Amino acid sequence: MTAKKNTEKTKSTNTKEIENLKKKIYKLKDELKEKDEKLIRSYADFQNYQKRMEKELVLKEEEIKRKYLLELLDLNEILKKAYEDKDPKDALKLMIDNIERFFEKEKVKVINCVGEKFDHNLHHAVTIIDKDNCEDNLIIEEVKKGYIIDDRLLRPSQVIVSKKKDIKKE
């Protein structure tokens, strides 16, 4: 009889363990389902965010385009007046002033470089000229102006740079 009691006790213990394992499985399934739902919601939120950002980017691009087109319209009208004018000098001066005001408003600054040392971060050397009475790497002429916008290079200055002439002793 003791063997029968041991077997019944073992069965009872096994049944309890099985029930506990089943409960754990159900609990884990519920947790997995909950995490899966959270993941799906997060992914949907991310997709919505991405779509919203894309729309905002398009709107921002359109706003910027509109702003610059309005500036261009003004310049176009001044240019047309200059073309029709017998003495277009005043209209051209007005157009140059408008463009310079626009650059100032947009924080575009000219790089002043003649007489300065060559800096590869700001300048692009188009030619190097041997000179007698000049230091090395000095900018002696500006071919095309360079510009900076908000302390970042917009376009490098194209320059002619000096190189000290080698005078050989005879």
pTM as predicted? 0.60
Side chain identity at residue 8, one-letter code: E
| Residue 147 belongs to a domain | yes
3-state secondary structure of 160: strand
Residue that terminates a domain, selected from 88, 106, 124: 106
pLDDT tens per residue, range 61-80:
999 999 889 888 988 888 88
| Residue 13 belongs to a domain | no
Full residue range of the structural domain in which residue 75 is found: 25-106
Residue that terminates a domain, selected from 106, 138, 159: 106
98 and 43 fall within a common domain: yes
Residue 29 and residue 35: Cα distance in Å, rounded? 10
Residue that terminates a domain, selected from 85, 106, 127: 106
Which pLDDT value is given to residue 6? 66
Residue 84 and residue 89: Cα distance in Å, rounded? 11
